[in-house]
Structure 1
């Protein structure tokens, strides 16, 4: 994708050692992947890139917020996310990304894109069940929560009684042991 050029790392021109890349991710980034689950997003990515003679060590660190709807109330809120993704890049005869911790690039490659890794790291950092903080602490007032409370099934505790015939059978087992 043409708009993802900023995420290409031309490693051939880099000296050995540590390099720091920073990216600011918003909804335009997710639009390139046709991903529209976030109302708004503001995530900072710091990529520590360590170039060694035979491999690269990458460490992605993401922190920021995504605005998502609450699964309970439907209200939008800012979900804080933090995530870290270590990655080792080696060279081989052909491209291979089967191992989630190691990426193998062909020997003739002179750059590679980190956009897909950033995308996956952010999407996986957002919890599957999204609950507004005010729902958790009980301070949210919403029509949806009031309706859920109204429709909640009330369970009454009943005293459990046993059939006296079963009690007699249990006594037979305990008498037999003594």
Structure 2
């Protein structure tokens, strides 16, 4: 279902002025491009409150305040590879307030810290970089015949660091 744009204060004023001029609900609705029920609600609300402001919306208040949001952000920025569940656990240990990983994830996204898939690449140490470079320099003059005697195998898979699972990193959007 597609939502409509919000009813602005200026539109509310316009509707009330049109009604004061004696226009019908149908005529006002056609002119402003809204349904008769919306026009009726605007006029009823104005008659009750005598104000053009939209009423305060109901809803559950956030579980965290601004200070706790800053703490969540600090924990996340401290190690960008922390999961939302890990951050929630650390927050609970530090602050004594339990948060679900869904809440943590929502609050971090609100500050623009979105979880992205981490780039997967093998760790190549300085020692390994030097060994690769020396190998390349030694074998740069080899011919195709020399290389045809070498058997390359990529059948074996070795996990040197961590698991194969998907890893996420939090990055600032924008």
Q: TM-score, normalised by structure 2?
A: 0.21
User: Looking at both structures, which has the greater relative contact order when contacts are Cα pairs under 8 Å and sequence separation is at least 6?
Assistant: 2
State the structure with more CA Rg: 2
Q: TM-score, normalised by structure 1?
A: 0.21
